[in-house]
């Protein structure tokens, strides 16, 4: 009788402790991505694994917060919106390598770090938007410096990570001397001082303040689905630059594991989930970005823009020119 009671108590204790352990399973995310973009993915992950996802959303200051928190940081996963931010986290020693065959095989090599410290989740093209009143035109990034576009170009700040990444790619392709001259000429062609968001540049085209602007591809989809902003998007073409030579500049949204991740196992599970085919398909439909994983279809809206040739240069090589890009932007006094 005593032996039977002991077995019952042991089994009960085992199931209770197992339930408590599973109930406490969690992963903590610091995210630059907006809630509506990633929360559907986290909900699906929790449904499949039982692991709760806790998220802190922010627009800036991730690196500073992690450095301040040090080894006591609760962060497991870091989601960012640009290669420059990923490189910043790595250069400041705030991330750790993740050795995962799932990640390394699902993501093209040009969109992941050689030391496994960061991985792309989606890609986006740095497009050139042009006013439909100009008719259909074929543009390269280099053309933005052509004097025929004097006073006709709009762009956001040169110090914004999207601009810095593009300038870094120009350095990779043409070298410092050419890129500095290009920046000076582009500045001469600006219709106004660099300002606003990517969408604000398309609005400026709608207002006939300029004819050409730079902007990430997914913003076009967002504008088309916004009743107020659709009138802006309807007046521009979305152009894929440099299709007859090196291809369009690509940037990414990406993920890294925090250096002191307290839930590293769960963090890796979430990272691997985010590159799975179902998650990549959900990214494509929700965010109007391009899945980083090959073989996953883009949304119908994105597909309607046509196919394009991407710059094949590894983002890690481009990112090495980030500091030089900032230096050249200062020398060109681009934002002044």
Nearest-angstrom CA–CA distance, 176 and 311: 19
Name the percent of the chain in helix, strand, coil, to the closest 5: 50, 15, 35
Q: Quick one: average pLDDT of 84-90?
A: 92
Map residue 42 onto helix, strand or coil: helix
Q: Is residue 8 part of a domain?
A: no
Nearest-CA neighbor of 250 among 317, 180, 324? 317
Phi-psi region of 50 (alpha: psi -120 to 50; beta: other; left: phi over 0): left
Residue 179 lies inside a defined structural domain of this protein? yes
pLDDT band at 206 (very low <50, low <70, confident <90, very high): very high
Same domain, yes or no, for 261 and 290? yes
Is 15 a member of any domain? no
Upper half-sphere CA count for residue 198 (Cβ side, 13 Å): 21
Same domain, 257 and 108: yes
Q: Do residues 30 and 58 make contact, with C-beta atoms less than 8 angstroms apart?
A: yes
**266 plus 243 within the same structural domain:** no
Residue 311's nearest CA partner among 119, 140, 67, 88 is 140
Those residues whose C-beta lies under 8 Å from the C-beta of residue 38, and which sit 6 or more positions away, are 29, 31, 55, 79
DSSP symbol at 80? E
Looking at the structure, do residues 155 and 180 belong to the same domain, yes or no? yes
Contacts of 314 (CB under 8 A, 6+ apart): 109, 110, 111
The 3-state secondary structure of 120-132 reads EEEEEEEEEEEEH
pLDDT at 16: 32
What mean pLDDT do residues 230-234 have? Answer: 97
Residues 81 and 112 in one domain: yes
pLDDT at 21 over 70: no
Maximum separation of any 2 CA atoms in the chain, in Å: 96
Task: Classify residue 5: in a domain, yes or no.
Answer: no
Which tens digits make up the pLDDT trace of 273-332?
999 999 999 888 888 899 999 999 999 999 999 999 999 999 999 999 999 999 999 999
Answer whether 270's CB lies under 8 Å from 77's CB: yes
What's 228's domain CATH number?
A: 3.40.190.10
Contact 232, 199 (CB under 8 A): yes
Indicate whether 240 and 254 sit together in one domain: no
Q: Give residue 24's pLDDT.
A: 63
Which tokens belong to 29?
């995310």
Q: 316 and 204, same structural domain?
A: yes
State whether 135 and 234 are in the same domain: yes
Q: Where is 263: in which H helix or E strand?
A: none
Do 278 and 40 contact (CB within 8 A), yes or no?
Answer: no
Between the CA of residue 47 and those of 44, 108, 300, what are the distances in Å? Answer: 5, 28, 27
Residue 132 maps to a domain: yes
- Residue pLDDT, tens place only, 111-136: 999 999 999 999 999 999 999 999 99
153 plus 244 within the same structural domain = yes
Residue 33 lies in a domain: yes
pTM to 2 decimal places: 0.86
Percent of the chain with pLDDT over 70: 93
- Per-residue pLDDT tens digits for 147-184: 999 999 999 999 999 999 999 999 999 999 999 999 99
The answer to whether residues 168 and 216 belong to one domain is yes
Tokens of 189: 């062609």
Is residue 12, in this structure, part of any structural domain at all?
no
Contact 302, 284 (CB under 8 A): yes
CA 7 to chain centre: 54
In the structure, what pLDDT confidence band is assigned to residue 84 with cuts at 50, 70 and 90? confident
CB 136 within 8 A of CB 268: no
Question: Are 319 and 191 contained in the same domain?
Answer: yes
If one counts the domains in the chain, the total is 2
- State which residues form the domain around 182: 126-249+311-331
Instruction: Please check whether residue 13 lies inside any domain of the structure.
Output: no
DSSP β-ladder status, 77-80 and 119-131: unpaired
Same domain as 212, residue 156 = yes
């Amino acid at each position: 009788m005593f032996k039977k009671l002991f077995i019952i108590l042991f089994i009960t204790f085992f199931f209770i402790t197992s339930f408590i352990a599973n109930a406490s399973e969690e992963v903590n995310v610091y995210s630059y991505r907006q809630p509506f973009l990633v929360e559907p993915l986290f909900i699906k992950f929790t449904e499949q694994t039982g692991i709760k996802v806790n998220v802190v959303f922010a627009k800036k200051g991730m690196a500073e917060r992690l450095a301040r928190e040090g080894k006591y940081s609760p962060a497991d996963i870091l989601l960012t919106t640009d290669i420059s931010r990923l490189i910043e986290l790595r250069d400041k020693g705030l991330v750790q390598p993740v050795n995962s065959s799932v990640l390394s095989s699902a993501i093209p090599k040009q969109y992941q770090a050689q030391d496994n410290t960061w991985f792309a989740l989606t890609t986006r093209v740095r497009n050139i938007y042009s006013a439909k009143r100009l008719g259909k035109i074929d543009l390269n990034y280099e053309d933005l410096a052509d004097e025929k576009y004097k006073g006709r170009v709009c762009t956001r700040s040169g110090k914004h990570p999207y601009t810095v990444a593009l300038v870094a790619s120009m350095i990779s392709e043409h070298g410092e001397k050419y890129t500095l001259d290009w920046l000076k000429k582009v500045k001469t062609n600006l219709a106004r001082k660099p300002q606003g968001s990517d969408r604000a540049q398309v609005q400026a085209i709608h207002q006939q303040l300029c004819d050409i602007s730079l902007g990430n591809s997914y913003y076009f989809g967002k504008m088309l689905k916004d009743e107020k902003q659709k009138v802006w998007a309807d007046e521009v073409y979305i152009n894929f630059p440099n299709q007859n030579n090196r291809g369009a500049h690509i940037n990414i949204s990406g993920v890294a594991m925090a250096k002191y991740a307290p839930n590293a196992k769960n963090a890796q599970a979430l990272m691997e989930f985010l590159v799975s085919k179902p998650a990549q398909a959900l990214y494509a439909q929700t965010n109007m970005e391009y899945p980083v994983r090959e073989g996953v279809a883009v949304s119908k809206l994105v597909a309607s823009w046509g196919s394009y040739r991407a710059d094949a240069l590894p983002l890690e090589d481009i990112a090495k020119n980030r500091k030089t890009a900032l230096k050249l932007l200062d020398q060109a006094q681009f934002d002044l």
